[in-house]
Structure 1
Amino acid sequence: MNTPSASILPQPKQGLFSKSFLGFLATQFLGAFNDNMFRWLVASYVMIEVQTLFGNGTGKYNSAVLSTGAILFTLPYIIFASYAGYLSDRFSKRAVTVWCKVAEIVIMAAGVVALWFGDIYLLMFVVMLMGTQSALFSPAKLGIIPELVPAEKISAANGVVGLTTIIAIVMGTTAGYALHAMIKEDRFATLWIPAVALMGAAIAGWLCSLLITQLSSANSSRTFPMNPFKETFRDLQLLAKDRPILRVSLGIAFFWTLATLAQMNIDSYAKELLKLEATEIGLLMALLSMGVGLGSILAGYWSGDRVELGIVPLGAMVMAICSILLCFTGESIFWTSTMLFLLGLGGGLFSVPLSSFLQHRSPPASLGSILAAGNFITFAGTIVISLIFPVMCITLQLSPKPIFLLAGLGTIPVALYVIFLIPSASIRFFVWLLSHTIYRVKVKGHENLPETGGALLVANHVSWLDGILLLMTSSRPIRMLAYADYVENKKVGWLARIFDVIPIKSDSGPKELLKSLKTANQAIKDGELVCIFAEGQITRTGQLQPFQRGMMRIVQGTGAPVVPIYLEGLWGSVFSYERGKFFWKMPRRWPYPISILFGKPLHDADNAEQVRQAVQELGVEAVEETGNKQRNLPQLFVRQCKRAKWKMKVTESSGTELTGGKLLSSVLLFKSLFSKGIFAADEKRIGVLLPPGVGGVIANTALAMMGKVAVNLNYTLSDDVMDFCIQEAGIQQVITSRKFLEKKPMNINTQFIYLEDLKEQISGIGKLIAATQAYVFPSFVVDFLHGLKSIQPEDLLTIIFTSGSTGNPKGVMLSHKNISSNIRAINQSVHISQKDVLLGVLPFFHSFGFTGTFWLAMGTEASAVYHYNPLDSRTVGKLSEKYQTTILFATPTFLRSYLKRCTPEQFATLELVILGAEKMPVEMAATFEEKFGIVPCEGYGTTELSPVVSVNIPASRCGDSHQSSMKLGTIGKPLPGIAVKIINPDSGEMLGIDQEGLLLVKGSNVMQGYLNQPEKTAELIVDGWYNTGDIAKIDNEGFVTITGRQSRFSKIGGEMVPHIRIEAELAKIVEDPDSDEPDILVAVTAVPHKTKGERIVVAHKPLKKPIEEILNDLAATGLPNLWLPSRDSFFEVSEIPVLGTGKLDLKQLKELALKQFGE
């Protein structure tokens, strides 16, 4: 045996549709077609000649003829095995293929001559020559596949090759019988037909072989085997050294042995039991072959981008069952045909994974030798069965039925042995098969999983099914880490042992824990894949939990990469904690779509936070992909209204109350009116000037269903600023109501469309049509009638103008995907159900109101109660008590008012209070909990982020008090599918735990951009990351804390001084506990200073405390002296300037300060 020398030229691997692979496919198809056409033409001819020679009987010698033909065709595979392996390794497999096709032309010419003379011995000799050609071609034919296609396409390629081969066998067998039928009457007159067919197929195969791309030899230094038998013995030794490859080769040999037996037995079965003619026998052969073809394609499809050996036991069991049943089908052609087809199906499932494994795992330089040795074993088996078959038929006088029975019984131990050898792969595949009836799994980035060597896989943990899903999507075995309680459990422990799960004994002290980590570390050193769910528990909110720091010990000193993995879509499945429980719930969809993303390997990760960041960013990509396939907002609205058809869906303080059915009917009516001459087709942007309530819901939803862009205008702005927004957005018409304009008169340059006027145009027929769609038609019909499926995720849904706290309002363009991804993430985190009633007080021109109190209620099972004035605390309290509201979205300013004016009874049913837009004082949370029994949760977002980024979640909503999802003083953890990071504002370097820096956000919630301001958009969104302008830090549990805003810092004496921190302390000092007003009393800003750069100044309303006392109290808080304003830096104003949203008007505040201090 020569030492293999590597190929010099890189192999030009291409896809399944490349010219090279298609050329090879056609070449092997024509070769298999010609083989079988000639063999069965000769077999039919010889059987007739033998019957003539020995007398026309029942064909008792047919089995002997078939066995002889099979032996002659397969004997060269044994005799020339070493030469075939030599040719495949020593020369380019393309060259071997081309010259074998040339040899086929010569042999077919000899076959035509033999047919002319009608000499059965000469014909049998040509059959042997054809077998020799096939034997020499076989290793090159099998070995060329890994050189033409990438590794992840080998299974699919083998499936396609298997299918086309079977088609060729069917066509060749049928053609062989047909050609014999043509020439048996007058051989000399009709010989030109088989001559053209045989020579034509051979020449066409040679021409197709020329399409194969040039390939280099695998082992150019290999010498010619002078002693073929000794060389074959060495090849067999080489094969035997690799036990998995040896077992696979034996499996392939078993398949071909069984196939040979079935092929010979079918002929006897059809003639003796079913009394079929030769052409009809060809149809039975065709059914068997078609089954093999379909099984081959299924095996390739089920294998995906890997080699899946778990399919093999399924194929073996199908073969065993069908072979046994063929003994009991009687004379029924239907059941015989069915069983033969299924027998072939099982054969395809059995053989393709084995062939793929052999090609994938064998060393390229010795692949020819291994394949030649495999062929030796395979065809030794076929010769043995060819010798045994006539003995069974003639000597033992067994009919075809018991032969099939024996074949089936013999296959059962093979199937059991395969399961014994690869229990994990078998279980993995059977679970995959079952799960694919429940789930539809899409895998991306599988190429990032190392093909060889050790690696640590780190994934998020969403459900009980996560581990099994990873096992079944990997082409390599994975050793999972799991708590010892599960591994040692009697019910599932056996399964854990099969998959060689590494138990973690975290409760048994640090020594046992270190022992588990060392076991995992050694497994990686040994070249195994190890997977850990680093969160240590299944998420109860969908949010990514903190990673266990000790996990990095697993890869320490191994040099192995860490592969991040993100499982998306499992939230909401039966095995997740969605709806507050595991298992006992109906799945929302069938099959349930799941995505598994393998990220790029991390070769230099040195801490758990880096890995967690990679998993979090992978989650953004996963949600981005799945979001494009989710139902859009109008579709969600239709379905939620139909679910709440007879239940209150929306109401308001005026008393108007609509069920889901009535709301959908109303929206469809107004959509119809809007479409009839009010809004032109090219009028895309429509203004909306309505308070939060039923009218606002109907107008916004109808516009969304029309594919229009709703622009909710901020009615707290001046007419000039509102005109600026209208002109900026290109709005021609604004939907409003006369009642609203009576309360809030304004003079703006636009045309008003009044809801009251439209309502008068509604006809009885229109009501009937809308009601029929809302109450009778299924959701998909409504989708079709209104073209809802044509609305794309990237289509613009709304333009929301920012509050303009630092300048003119900017139009933020938000798409359907932006808003829908945000409400899905909120829903996933806080477990919204049909029992929830949302108290909506935020206006729809506010992003928090548009997403949180409008679309969140319309796109989920919750209902909503609206009131137009968030500061009307008494009415808000009464509505909450009347409708037993459970969720409230508000700002700290509004909450302060409710804290003072609402009674505990009015908020008794509240379960979730989320605050945004301003920093929530910790003292407010404590006071609110003391009065109402519920802790308000601070969240964070910006208009540009649709708006929610992160939120604290109380234990009552995450279902597990041990899983930390709330920490006062922070803005919570990022929502699922949203990634955050902290960078150095100057260098852009990513910062670590508890380091303050600039907060960047990435996700499907990031806006499309600023209206008419591409430069500003490009400045703030870089590579998908949005620069919030806020200064923040992330702790070791993943909670984010906002420490200030970049624009609200002053640089004094080289140090950054935060205005917000000073402002918060002053607010506590000057607060009047007896006051019933939620007004802001102080605000901090800065003005230029000649020597220090900037000077801190404080605007304040009339105060009860003197300035000196305030300064003393401020110094006592522990703030640095540099941060303390001087006595002359305070100035009194009548009102602190605020925007309609309750935020400080920083622009006006700055102007007041500059005017006061004149610097």
Structure 2
Amino acid sequence: MIVQQTQNAFNDKAAQFILVPLGGAIAFSVESWATIMIALPFVLFAPLAGWLSDRFSKRDVMLGAAIAQLLILLWLCASIHIRSMELALCGFFALAVQSAFFSPAKIGINKELVGSKHLGFAAGIQQMMAMLAILSGQIAAGIIYDQRYKALGETPEVAWQAAFPPLVVLAALAVPAIFMAWVVPRTPAQGAEKLHGGILIQHFKHLGDLWRDAPLRQASFGVAFFWGFATFINLWSVKLAKVLTEGQGGFGTLSSWFMAAATLGMALGFGVASFLLRKRIELGWVPLAGVAMTVTALIFALQDPTGSLRLLSAAEISFHAVLKAALSPISGSFLWGLASLAFFAALFLAPLNAWMQDRYPPNQRGELQSAVNLQDCLIGIIAAAFVEGLVLIADMTGVETVLGYRIQLAIAGVGCGLITWFIIRLLPGHFVRVIGLSILRIFYRIRPVGAEHIPEKGGVLLLPSHVSWADAFFITAASPRPVRFVMDAIYMEKPAIRWFCTLFETVPIDLGKPREAMRTAAAALQKGDLVCLFPEGRLTRTGTLLPLKRGFEIIARQAKAPIVPAWLDGAWGSIFSFEGNRYFRKRPHRIPYGLAISFGEPIEPRDASISLIRHGILKASSAAVEARLKGWKRPEPRAVQANGYQLGQINALPRRQAIARLSDDPEIDALPSVATFTKLFKVKLHHRDQASPQDHCWVGGSKLRHSILALPPTQGAVPFYDFSPDALDPIDPPGWIHCPCLAVDGIIVAMSFPDPPKISPSCSHQPGSKPGTYGHLLPGFDFSEKDGITTLHGPAAGPDGLQLPHPLFVDDLGFVGPRQDPETESPGDSA
């Protein structure tokens, strides 16, 4: 489909740029008429073109358009052969009619071929290839015609001879385009309305259908502005080239180069847009591109559009002369300015086009696209008349010709600014978000994992872990859909926060009125939004998953919305997390810093429970670690790599500091992931001959336990991470903090650690340990239970999983310890 529409655009534009300089050579002004003739069929036949694309397979419409183009190009060849510009213009008009019927089919078929997920990327590629086809058609036609015209003698009589052979070649090129249209997959017809006379005059009905949908109406106005602006720049460039060459030799070459600069910039803009929209359609690029268009147009208006070109006579203008001038510091700035203006214009259009294609109802896709085309062409005609009016005013007032064209561009720049201001007011949240996320991506490399688990449409309740103050930004950057976050309404009392939350359509809830809060969140889901609620209700200061609060089950059931659990891997370590026992007041580990946001498999609302959601979040954490290992080239076994990374995701062993061990401790020698941890997180591992409270913290087994117990009492609180078989047997030597830990088959699965400090008296307590347990299960493990045996899963657990020794299990708070026997007297006895 892309190749076929590219060939169609090439033929169209090449034919135009043969007829335009031909008209100049025989003193028949074509450029203004050409603009009107291109736009008029979209006005006259818009309803019929839309009906055709909905009533029949869009692939069949494309095939018919390809056949029609071949016949019309043969008509043009005959017209030039008999030297009739009137008949040639009829053929030119017929090409525009063919385009009017081709356009809704080629645009409408995008979603039918690729769906919503890749629509932004596909639309950007389609527009980029169309622009490249236009560019190559302009350059080839203008330059070939000029070279033939000069070689034959530059007289009106030979102008016809210069035009005929290139048109014959275009007719030949139209033949393979028919075959390409034939092999496009045949999509089903979407409409059922039969042909009747009223369809021919349903312009305002279709426009009414378009305008009744307020977001579609506003987006269509933005698209119309682009085409009006593009028409202005197109006609402005051609007229400027005509002034510089006085319409004689070199006109085709110079106008082709001006248009080539604009078209190449536009093609590059569409290419960049397809990359930016590859994950989701982001409307925030529209106002940002509008700002860039405004600034570029106003700066561009200050540039001299002639430069060294002004020093060339009409006879000297050639491909090589213009290329040399384009590389000069004088005129080169003009051509680069033209390309930059077109680049930002394409970035302005692409998100709007993709968003509208996604929003069209399937059975009206052709009709609504034709209504958009009609609107675009009406604006194009107005823009062409506007240019002619400005030229007339300049002539009447005696303004120097080139200065007049610079004033025209300045007026266009002011128009861009006014439209952009309106769009920013209309889409402030999108505008701020795209700027914020662009800045965020400078400092963070955010990798989404399992994004396909988020349904493309409908309400979805997202339940992620809550690790840092920037989690909302990280999730927004990773999500394929816009996210609305739930926030306690008490924070909305502050004007700055209220403005920010209103901007991003935050869902405010009153935690003092739980029933009303749940109804508010459910209403947002019923609207079809992706709503994010942090089920822990607070930031973790341990790095592990905190107990989940109830309420989300009722919200999901009321809204009948699926639940997607999620894990923010790597957020522990961001300056916005509590890693290092403080927020913000620490330097980044690296820039850019890598994060993986893992989205788990959807859970049906009827199945929602705290236990199931907790398992879903833990499973997402293991998927995130698995994704992080991809691309690593380290010597350690995969399980050891994963386990060493997991050790850095909790508030236990410190990053970028030092830890100590005994030189001949066999239980630590059996844990290779400790050494991997030190390499991954820039930790110094000191080997000591005996225990000493001078070191920051210690890791060890039975030998270290005995060494510490033999020491005299000391001041301080040095953590001792105990991996010995007797770790659950508590010891309490003065100056030391005993932290039981568990390793199974050389893989560390759980660790206790000192309770993290509170940042304020009102902060809730978050324990780093629990009596009678080995501490928290490390992030990156999920687990299952069968016949009383708990099996851990995740990259560190290996393909077959890692069984915990009986009777160990993972409790509801995430601590690993022995299952309580009702007949035992204490956890210690049970152990």
Distance 1:452 1:283, change over 3 A: same
- Structure-2 separation of matches of 1:615 and 1:147: 34
- Structure-1 separation of matches of 2:204 and 2:680: 71
Secondary structure at 1:50's aligned position in 2? coil
- Structure-2 separation of matches of 1:77 and 1:626: 51
The residue that corresponds to 1:601 in the other structure is 602
Alignment of 1:950-961 (within 5 A): 950-956=750-756
2:279 equivalent to 1:305: yes
- Retained in 2: the 8 A contact 1:562–1:605? no
Distance 1:475 1:241, change over 3 A: farther
CA-to-aligned-CA distance 1:985-1034 (integer Å, 9 cap, x gap): 1xxxxxxxxxxx322111222247xxxxxxxxxxxx2xxx3222422444
Pick one of 783, 801, 809 that aligns with 1:980: 783
The residue that corresponds to 1:470 in the other structure is 475
- Tell me by how many angstroms 1:262 deviates: 0.3
Q: Which amino acid is 2:52 matched to?
A: L
Distance 1:537 1:192, change over 3 A: same
Distance 1:49 1:857, change over 3 A: closer
Q: Which amino acid is 2:470 matched to?
A: L
2:774 equivalent to 1:964: no
The residue that corresponds to 1:348 in the other structure is 346
Alignment of 1:926-945 (within 5 A): 928=732, 931-943=733-745
The residue that corresponds to 2:104 in the other structure is 139
- Retained in 2: the 8 A contact 1:159–1:299? yes
Q: Which amino acid is 2:80 matched to?
A: L
Pick one of 430, 437, 440 that aligns with 2:442: 437
- Structure-2 separation of matches of 1:372 and 1:501: 36
The residue that corresponds to 1:1053 in the other structure is none
CA-to-aligned-CA distance 1:765-797 (integer Å, 9 cap, x gap): xxxxxxxxxxxxxxxxxxxxxxxxxx4xxxxx4
- Tell me by how many angstroms 1:560 deviates: 0.8
- Tell me by how many angstroms 1:279 deviates: 0.8
2:661 equivalent to 1:890: no
Pick one of 223, 227, 235 that aligns with 2:194: 223
Distance 1:337 1:190, change over 3 A: closer
CA-to-aligned-CA distance 1:162-211 (integer Å, 9 cap, x gap): 11111111111112212432554435655552133220222122122122
- Retained in 2: the 8 A contact 1:359–1:367? yes
The residue that corresponds to 1:617 in the other structure is 619
- Retained in 1: the 8 A contact 2:145–2:252? no
- Retained in 1: the 8 A contact 2:727–2:741? no
The residue that corresponds to 1:166 in the other structure is 131
Distance 1:167 1:865, change over 3 A: closer
| Consecutive unaligned residues in structure 2, runs of 5 or more | 153-157, 308-329
- Tell me by how many angstroms 1:842 deviates: 6.2
- Equivalent residues, number: 785
Secondary structure at 1:577's aligned position in 2? coil
- Structure-2 separation of matches of 1:258 and 1:865: 68
- Tell me by how many angstroms 1:629 deviates: 3.4
Pick one of 156, 176, 182 that aligns with 1:210: 182
2:732 equivalent to 1:918: no
- Tell me by how many angstroms 1:288 deviates: 0.9
- Structure-2 separation of matches of 1:1035 and 1:125: 81
Secondary structure at 1:541's aligned position in 2? coil
- Structure-2 separation of matches of 1:1066 and 1:555: 40
The residue that corresponds to 1:553 in the other structure is 554
Provide the TM-score with structure 2 as the length reference: 0.89
Alignment of 1:123-138 (within 5 A): 123-138=88-103
- Retained in 2: the 8 A contact 1:82–1:225? no
CA-to-aligned-CA distance 1:457-480 (integer Å, 9 cap, x gap): 111122222212322444543220
- Structure-2 separation of matches of 1:247 and 1:475: 23
Distance 1:188 1:46, change over 3 A: closer
Distance 1:77 1:445, change over 3 A: same
2:720 equivalent to 1:949: no
- Structure-2 separation of matches of 1:274 and 1:973: 79
Alignment of 1:191-202 (within 5 A): 192-202=164-174
- Retained in 1: the 8 A contact 2:77–2:168? no
Alignment of 1:177-326 (within 5 A): 177-182=142-147, 184=149, 185=152, 186-187=158-159, 189-190=161-162, 192-219=164-191, 221-272=192-243, 277-326=251-300
Secondary structure at 1:565's aligned position in 2? strand
- Retained in 1: the 8 A contact 2:18–2:163? no
- Structure-1 separation of matches of 2:734 and 2:245: 85
- Structure-2 separation of matches of 1:967 and 1:273: 84
Distance 1:420 1:188, change over 3 A: closer
Pick one of 295, 303, 315 that aligns with 1:329: 303
- Retained in 2: the 8 A contact 1:823–1:856? yes
The residue that corresponds to 1:1018 in the other structure is none
- Structure-1 separation of matches of 2:178 and 2:232: 31
Distance 1:209 1:409, change over 3 A: same
Alignment of 1:726-875 (within 5 A): 791=635, 797=636, 815=637, 817-829=638-650, 830-840=652-662, 843-844=665-666, 849-852=671-674, 854-857=675-678, 860-866=681-687
Secondary structure at 1:227's aligned position in 2? helix
The residue that corresponds to 2:453 in the other structure is 448
- Structure-2 separation of matches of 1:1032 and 1:845: 20
2:712 equivalent to 1:903: yes
- Retained in 2: the 8 A contact 1:887–1:910? no
Tell me the C-alpha RMSD between the 2 structures: 2.7
Alignment of 1:1007-1156 (within 5 A): 1007=798, 1021=800, 1025-1043=801-819, 1065=829
- Tell me by how many angstroms 1:430 deviates: 1.5
- Structure-1 separation of matches of 2:86 and 2:242: 25
Provide the TM-score with structure 1 as the length reference: 0.64
- Tell me by how many angstroms 1:840 deviates: 2.6
Q: Which amino acid is 1:560 matched to?
A: A
The residue that corresponds to 1:534 in the other structure is 535
Distance 1:143 1:339, change over 3 A: same
- Structure-1 separation of matches of 2:54 and 2:542: 57
Q: Which amino acid is 1:415 matched to?
A: T
More helix per residue? 2
Alignment of 1:476-495 (within 5 A): 476-495=481-500
- Structure-2 separation of matches of 1:287 and 1:77: 26
> After alignment, is 525-534 or 952-961 more displaced?
952-961
- Retained in 1: the 8 A contact 2:541–2:756? no
- Tell me by how many angstroms 1:580 deviates: 2.9
- Structure-2 separation of matches of 1:491 and 1:563: 30
Which structure has the larger Rg? Answer: 1
- Structure-2 separation of matches of 1:320 and 1:367: 32
- Structure-1 separation of matches of 2:227 and 2:748: 62
Distance 1:210 1:612, change over 3 A: same
Distance 1:834 1:957, change over 3 A: farther
The residue that corresponds to 1:459 in the other structure is 464
- Tell me by how many angstroms 1:835 deviates: 4.3
- Tell me by how many angstroms 1:125 deviates: 1.5
- Structure-1 separation of matches of 2:777 and 2:207: 59
- Structure-2 separation of matches of 1:175 and 1:938: 77
The residue that corresponds to 2:320 in the other structure is none
Q: Which amino acid is 1:293 matched to?
A: A
- Structure-2 separation of matches of 1:95 and 1:921: 75
Secondary structure at 1:545's aligned position in 2? coil
- Structure-2 separation of matches of 1:243 and 1:262: 29
CA-to-aligned-CA distance 1:105-159 (integer Å, 9 cap, x gap): 1110111111122222222221111110100111101101111223211111111
Pick one of 485, 504, 507 that aligns with 1:502: 507
- Structure-2 separation of matches of 1:851 and 1:400: 70
Distance 1:864 1:350, change over 3 A: closer
CA-to-aligned-CA distance 1:326-360 (integer Å, 9 cap, x gap): 21012441221121111111111111111111111
- Retained in 2: the 8 A contact 1:274–1:333? no
- Structure-2 separation of matches of 1:888 and 1:105: 81
The residue that corresponds to 1:79 in the other structure is 44
- Retained in 2: the 8 A contact 1:842–1:889? no
Alignment of 1:633-672 (within 5 A): none
Q: Which amino acid is 1:303 matched to?
A: L
